[in-house]
A and B are shown apart, each in its own frame.
Chain A
Amino acid sequence: MKWRNRGKPLAVILTVVLLVVLLFPFFVMISSMLKSAEEVYTNPAYWIPKSWQFSNLIRLWTEFQFATYFKSSVIISVGSMLLNTLLTVPAAYAVARLRFVGRGMILYLFLVIQMFSPVIVVISLFKVVASLRLLDTYLSLILANAVFTIAFTTWMMNGYFRSIPKEIEEAALIDGCSRVQTITRIMLPIAVPGLVTTMIYSFIAAWNEFLFGLTFIQSKQKMPLVLGLYNFVGRWTTQWELLNAAAFVALIPVLVLFYIIEKRLVAGLAGGAVKA
């Protein structure tokens, strides 16, 4: 107890110090996005902007094609979220509730391939996408992102379906519901928290995806945000004040969504020992 009493202020101080270190790039982002172009390019750099340029947050939509990138990101992320859900729900129901040969094997395989590296497959996936004539289309990214999240979302959804008592479903089956009806009318409504988690997860995964975009997308009109920002850095006079403002706006949706699923995500990744 003594240690705890002395330790508490120490813990708070240490927490503050660590947070200052860990949040450093975000402080820099906020400082830089409020500076003018000349201020950003001043040496030595300083923290507090002399003239607060909140207009950067507006200019970014007109001068930097932010709206185009944003639209692409929304289409790709919503698309791959929907496709992922359409594939995940039936697959997860099958492994959670139906008896068939190879069920354990499929679960195990999904657990392993959920860790597959996109970089390993990207060479040949490029050929697949090219032969389907899907290079430089939203659909290529929607497909790739949805597929690369299926294994994990199926695992998570499987867990949620399994936590629903079998009796509820059996009662519905006896009352004359078909299997499909029990899924859509009984199981899914109960598993809404799980469904929301997997949907948000696949949305975020697509929103943050960089490698497939870098490889499959050429035209600026179709670039997702992350790729648009990356290409912006490559130019010889990068407008860092706009780039920081763009990063800020691009991060807001994923940060908000992430906090909704954070606990369930940790539980899903670390397994049964962690309670959501």
Chain B
Amino acid sequence: MRDFRAAATIPLRQRLWNPEARLAYLLLAPAVILLLGFMIYPVVYVFLISLFRTNKLAQLKEFAGLKNFVYQFTDKEFWQITARSLYWTAIAVAVKAVLGMIVALLLNVKYAGRKVARMLFIVPWASAVPISSILWRWVYHPEYGLLNATLKATGLWANPPTWLGMPLPAFTACIWVDIWIGIPFMALVFLAGMQAISEDLYESASLDGVNGLQKFFYITLPGIRHLVLIATLLSCLWTFNDFNTIYILTRGGPAGATDILITKLYKNAFEFLKFSPAAVMAVVTFFILTGLAIAYARIYFRQEQGQ
């Protein structure tokens, strides 16, 4: 409070322009300039493209107002892809959270070798996503892949589908790889939260005759509530954004069955050279992702201030 009053009495010019502030601007300048040039300006420009007709070199030709948007918003395929992006994200994040919780609970049990187990559980996250996707493509291979061979040989599934060749199996195969990449992060965040909960709580609950399931719902889950929220938001951002997995596994195929907004927008731009539709999708994606990012930033910031 005292700081604030003191600051208020100093003229604005002096607050903006004093030796300490000048040094700060100087130190921030290189990062900010590059961010402006390579991140902010491209975002602004993509908004511009979305308002113009463009040629195959992505040059702005004539102002089109909202026509590009109207065109997309009246296209059935656009809504199909948008809906798919949303349920792709919802399903994947939900499954990641549930499986991540199971892994976290398992890692929270004390036994010899849990450190090794923890290391092994992290591998799918530590691995490079594009390389993992290539590996999975080989795993799913219809003739020589070991997944179907193993399913058949063990009798778990006598007649497994051609994973990446049919619409529904391809979607399932892609979303599984995305889930598989995302489980470890969820698990690690939840585990960190669980380990911060005091043992005393569980012990006194035991004395009162509370069973394991009740402990989970009345002690563990409320205790890590905040972390669940923050991990879920982050995971939504990453999942909505998961270009690599889909592009490498199926390129959005077969017949567009696995296209989500970001793969479609990339293909629109760099395969079909339709830049205005691509820009419209980029703008829509931008608003969805920025909404999520702001929600995440708010919670994160509040947490930091509370420290």
Binding site for B on A (CB under 8 A): 1, 3-4, 7-8, 11-12, 14-15, 18-19, 22-26, 28-29, 31-32, 40-47, 86-88, 90-91, 93-95, 98-101, 103, 106-108, 111-128, 143-144, 146-148, 150-151, 154, 179, 207-208, 210-211, 215, 226, 229-230, 233, 240, 243-244, 247, 250-251, 254-255, 258-259, 262, 266-267, 269-275
Contact = CB atoms under 8 A, between A and B. Distances in A.
Q: Specify which of A8, A40, A106, A121 lies most central, judged by the most chain B CB atoms within 10 Å of its CB.
A: A121
B297 A108 contact: yes
Given A22-B180, A100-B20, A254 B126 contact: yes
Nearest to A123: B269
12 contacts: A24-B147, A25-B138, A28-B138, A91-B27, A91-B31, A95-B24, A119-B262, A119-B265, A122-B42, A210-B130, A215-B270, A247-B135
Decide if the interface of chain A is mainly helix, strand, loop or mixed. helix
A154 to B, nearest CB: 7
B34 A150 contact: yes
Given A128-B38, A230-B134, A272-B307, A117 B289 contact: yes
B147 A123 contact: no
Contact of A42 (B127, B135, B144, B231): B144
B289 A271 contact: no
Contacts of B113: 12
Given A8-B109, A90-B31, 6 more contacts: A15-B106, A94-B27, A229-B134, A250-B128, A270-B189, A271-B303
A31 B25 CA distance: 55
A211 B136 CA distance: 18
B289 A251 contact: no
B123 A24 contact: no
Contacts of A271: 230, 299-300, 303-304
Contacts of B122: 258-259, 262
A217 to B, nearest CB: 13
Given A258-B122, A270-B189, A251 B196 contact: no
Decide if the interface of chain B is mainly helix, strand, loop or mixed. helix
Interface in B94-113: 102-103, 106-107, 109, 111, 113
A122 B266 contact: yes
Given A41-B144, A112-B290, A146-B34, A240 B28 contact: no
A70 B35 CA distance: 28
Contact of B30 (A28, A90, A128, A250): A90
Nearest to A261: B126
A87 B30 contact: yes
Interface stretch (B65-73, B76-84, B240-248): B240-248
Given A215-B270, A247-B135, A271-B303, A259 B42 contact: no
B158 interface: no
A273 B226 contact: yes
A86 B23 CA distance: 16
Interface string B269-284: 1100001001100100
A253 to B, nearest CB: 10
Contacts of A124: 41-43, 45-46, 49
